[in-house]
Amino acid sequence: MNKWLISCFVAALLSTQMLFAQVSFNTTVSKNELGINERLRVEFTINQDGDNFSPPSLEGFRVISGLNQSVSNMFINGKRSYSKTYSYVLVPLKKGTLTIGQASVEVDGEIYKTTPVNVQIKDAVELPKNPNDPNYIARENVHLVAEISKSKVYINEPVSVVYKLYFGGSVRPSDVNPIDMPEYKDFWSQDIPSRRTISQETYQGKRYNYVAWQQTILYPQRAGKLPIAPLTLDVQLDVPTNKRDFFGNQVFTQVSQTITAGKRTLTVLPFPEEGKPNDFSGAVGSFTLDVKTSKSELNASESLQATVEVNGKGNLKLFSLPELSTPSALERYDPEYSEQVSTTLSGMRGSIKNAYTLVPQYQGKYPIPAISFSYFDPATKSYNTLRSKEIIVDVLEGPTAVGSTAVTPANTYTTLPSAGSSFQFIAQRATFRSIAQAPFFASKWFFVLLFLPIVILVLLLAIRQYKPNETTVAQKRKARLVKKFLGKAKRTMTESSSFYVALELALHNYLKSRLQIQTNEFSKEKIKALLSEKGVDDQTTALFVRLLTNCELARYTPSSRNSMEQDYQTAVTAITQMDKQF
């Protein structure tokens, strides 16, 4: 009986120890729902001493404080209560449902994990107003405003957006990081570099310091109410407190604020149908048209250049130049496109040009017909049509087209020789000669045919010796490509922003030259699709798109000389590989 009681007592004691030895590892959050401008405290608590704590994924949050660690070890009524807590203070970066992932810790060689916790992030809420609270001081003295130059424009009329970061009082921004970049769907856009110097301006009746954080020029591509998604920044601020240091200087504390410029909407008007020319291709602004040739007189088989150039202020990169029409007797090559366009907050200004190479085949006078170019002027809300003059190309010397004469009037074409007039009259009287043949052996043709293989063999060896190998040809072609498209980028490698602007322009010009597409088609998805259609492999396409992405990112972050050289070499490799595959 006593042995049975002792066994029961031991079993109960062991059960109690096992119960108390059970490990509990949990996650608690201060709120399950909060505004995007509020803070969240997350605690991971374990009831036994553990090691090798591994924090969870905190994607969608920015860590304000942590990792913090605290230990509680108490004895109440003879019972020991122990807990260890790992904690973070977080700020959400976006709205929606965010997940606090699994944390893990090791206890006596075993790994224990928490259960993921979902937190709902909603719109910003009104926070308490405490004049002594650094967070309240920061909220009242920091603002982000999007200034739009016009609220109502036509399609392809420029409008500028300037994001101004205002800060007042003694508040000083120490670090600024973009969270959500504005989306410009249905716009052609280009960021304008800004020095971000501090200026002063009155905002809402109060004097503020401000920085033009981002400047962008937009060209709407369709009519309607077009939304502009907001820019959101995470700003670290030094906020003054009521405390003083040992030397009497005011003590500052660092506060984090998430600010947004708010969503804006732009009204875009369609082009008026009344008076719309048939040759209107979407040009908007104020332009001039110039059509000219490098020569007015030349000989047959010589070449001349004919250029079609549009100058002025407007959407120069977003329309096609009118095509030059030439007589069939002037052999015409595909035009070489070039542009000299500068983009500022007021829009694009400069010139675009197509240069045609023409080669006449016969002597005579050949007219190049006049061409027209129409554009819409938003200042006068009307269409304008420009027309060039007819140009006469006088070919002085060269073969004469059989069965035709040179044409002098400016509105007539030179007739090319027809197939029927290319044959001469066949003589009807024949002369006869003896067909008796001399012996072939030891004749002139005998020795010619005997030594001909030797002569051919020597010539082939000589040609092979002096023929440039494929490596030399490839190197020369690579050098021409680099000089043509990347020369300007290489010359501006001393300055980061200028280099990446030139590099991005070079990549665009290369695609326009090879794929014959317009700048308004330049989205990364469109580029991938076009390159795939042309047979460019996925690796080269990804390399090219990554370069364009690097150029865009370089507008916001400074780049080292090493990074610029690496991107330049990558551009050389991408263009060379693509050109081979084309």
**Type of residue numbered 92:** P
Within a domain: 444: no
Lowest mean pLDDT among 96-110, 176-190, 456-470: 456-470
What local confidence, expressed as pLDDT, does residue 418 receive? 38
Strand partners, 341: 350
Task: Output the pLDDT for position 36.
Answer: 83
Decide which of 478 and 353 is more confident.
353
Q: How many domains does the chain have?
A: 4
Highest mean pLDDT among 107-121, 232-246, 498-512, 527-541: 107-121
If one counts every other C-beta atom within 10 angstroms of the C-beta of residue 297, the result is: 12
| DSSP one-letter code for 519 | G
Residue 181 maps to a domain = yes
Say yes or no: 240 and 302 in one domain: no
CATH number, domain containing residue 370: 2.60.40
What's residue 536's pLDDT? 83
What is the token pair recorded at 435?
């067909």
Give 430's pLDDT tier (boundaries 50, 70, 90): low
Q: Which of 399, 339, 325 is nearest to 364 (CA)?
A: 399
- Residue 449 belongs to a domain: no
Res 506: pLDDT: 82
The pairing of beta strand 117-122 with beta strand 33-35: parallel
How far, rounded to the nearest angstrom, does the alpha carbon of residue 457 sit from its chain's CA centroid?
Answer: 56
* Reported confidence tier of residue 446, pLDDT bands at 50, 70, 90: confident
* Structure confidence at residue 391 as a pLDDT band (50, 70, 90): very high
- Is residue 191 in a domain? yes
Domain-ending residue, one of 221, 238, 269: 269
Query: Are both 101 and 140 inside the same structural domain?
Result: no
100 within domain boundaries: yes
* Weakest mean pLDDT among 216-225, 370-379, 567-576: 567-576
Residue with tokens 């202020």: 313
Residues above pLDDT 70, as percent of the chain: 82
Give residue for tokens 């007189």: 297
Collapsed DSSP state (helix, strand, coil) of residue 107: strand
Res. 339 pLDDT band, cuts 50 70 90: very high
Residues 6+ apart with CB under 8 A from 268: 152, 153, 154, 155, 220, 222, 223, 224, 225, 226
CB 228 within 8 A of CB 265: yes
Of 19-28, 76-85, 140-149, 402-411, the range with the lowest mean pLDDT is 402-411
Q: Are residues 116 and 146 in the same domain?
A: no
d(Cα 17, Cα 75) in Å, to the nearest integer?
16
C-alpha 471/C-alpha 479 separation (Å) is: 12
The sheet carrying 264-269 orders its strands as: 152-154, 264-269, 224-228
In terms of Cα–Cα distance, which of 65, 103, 101 is closest to 84? 103
**Rounded distance between C-alpha atoms, residue 329 and residue 117, angstroms:** 78
Cis previous bond, 289, omega within 30: no
Q: Examine the domain organization and report whether 160 and 112 are in the same domain.
A: no
Average pLDDT score over residue span 480-496: 73
In a domain, 483, yes or no: yes
Residue 75 sits in a domain whose CATH number is 2.60.40.10
Tell me the C-alpha distance between 323 and 556, whole Å.
39
The continuous run of DSSP H or E covering 25 comes out as: strand 25-29
**In this predicted structure, what is the pLDDT of residue 572?**
84
Distance CA 582, CA 574 (A): 12
Strands 25-29 and 61-76, sheet pairing: unpaired
Residue 423 has pLDDT above 60, yes or no: no
Which DSSP symbol is given to 335? P
CA distances from 112 to 21, 47, 236, 258, 449 (A): 14, 12, 36, 35, 94
Task: Classify residue 192: in a domain, yes or no.
Answer: yes
Q: Domain check: are 293 and 199 in the same one?
A: no
Cα angle: 531, vertex 532, 536; to 5 degrees:
70
pLDDT confidence of 2, banded at 50, 70, 90?
low
Confidence of residue 410 (pLDDT cuts 50, 70, 90): very low
When mean pLDDT is compared across 30-34, 232-236, 252-256, 520-524, the lowest value belongs to: 520-524
Q: What is the pLDDT of residue 135?
A: 79
Q: Look at residue 117 and give its three-state secondary structure.
A: strand
Binned at pLDDT 50, 70 and 90, residue 421 comes out as very low
Q: Are both 113 and 84 inside the same structural domain?
A: yes
**The 250-260 sheet, strands edge to edge:** 172-180, 232-244, 250-260
Phi first, then psi: what are they for 227, rounded to 5°?
-80, 150
Sheet containing 391-395: order of strands:
297-298, 391-395, 364-368
Quick one: 260 and 156 in the same domain? yes
pLDDT surpasses 80 at 524: no
pLDDT of residue 131: 67
Q: Clarify whether residues 289 and 255 are in a common domain.
A: no
Q: Which domain holds residue 61?
A: 20-122
Buried b (16+ CB within 10 A) or exposed e, 15-47: eeeeeeeeeebebeeeeeebbbbbbbbbebbbb
Q: What is the pLDDT of residues 5-14, one digit of tens each?
A: 555 554 554 4
Averaged pLDDT for residues 188-200: 88
Asked if residue 187 lies in contact with residue 198, where contact means CB atoms within 8 angstroms, the answer is no
Report the distance separating Cα 64 and Cα 274, nearest Å: 60
Same-domain pairing of 205 and 87: no
pLDDT for position 412: 41
Q: Report the pLDDT averaged over residues 445-463.
A: 86
Domain boundary among 344, 379, 395: 395
Give the span between the Cα atoms of 231 and 183, in whole angstroms. Answer: 9
Residue 283 tokens read as: 């040009």
| Those residues with Cβ within 8 angstroms of residue 307's Cβ, 6 or more apart along the chain or in another chain | 290, 291, 292, 293, 294, 353, 354, 355, 356
Do both 574 and 483 map to the same domain? yes
In-domain check, residue 428: no
**In the predicted model, is pLDDT for residue 464 greater than 80?**
no
pLDDT in tens, 288-324: 999 999 998 999 888 999 999 999 999 999 999 999 9
Which pLDDT score, from 0 to 100, does residue 415 have? 39
Question: Residue 408 — pLDDT band, cuts 50, 70, 90?
Answer: very low
CB atoms within 10 A of CB 94: 14
430 vs 263: CA distance, rounded Å: 94
Based on the fold, state whether residues 173 and 77 are members of the same structural domain: no
Which residues, in sequence order, are bridge partners of residue 191? 216
Tell me the mean pLDDT in the region 457-465.
Answer: 83
CA dist 119 and 17 (Å) reads: 36
Tell me phi and psi for residue 422, to 5 degrees: -85, -10
Q: Sorting pLDDT into bands at 50, 70 and 90, what band is 558?
A: low
Last-in-domain residue among 102, 122, 142: 122
Q: How many CA atoms lie within 13 A of 472 on its CB side?
A: 4
- Here the tokens at position 524 are 């990364």
Residue 140 β-bridge partners: none
The arithmetic mean of pLDDT across residues 366-379, rounded, is 94
**Average pLDDT over the chain, rounded to an integer:** 81
> What pLDDT digit, counting tens, does each position of 243-301 carry?
777 777 777 788 888 888 888 899 999 999 999 999 999 999 999 999 999 998 999 88
Same domain? 245 vs 296: no
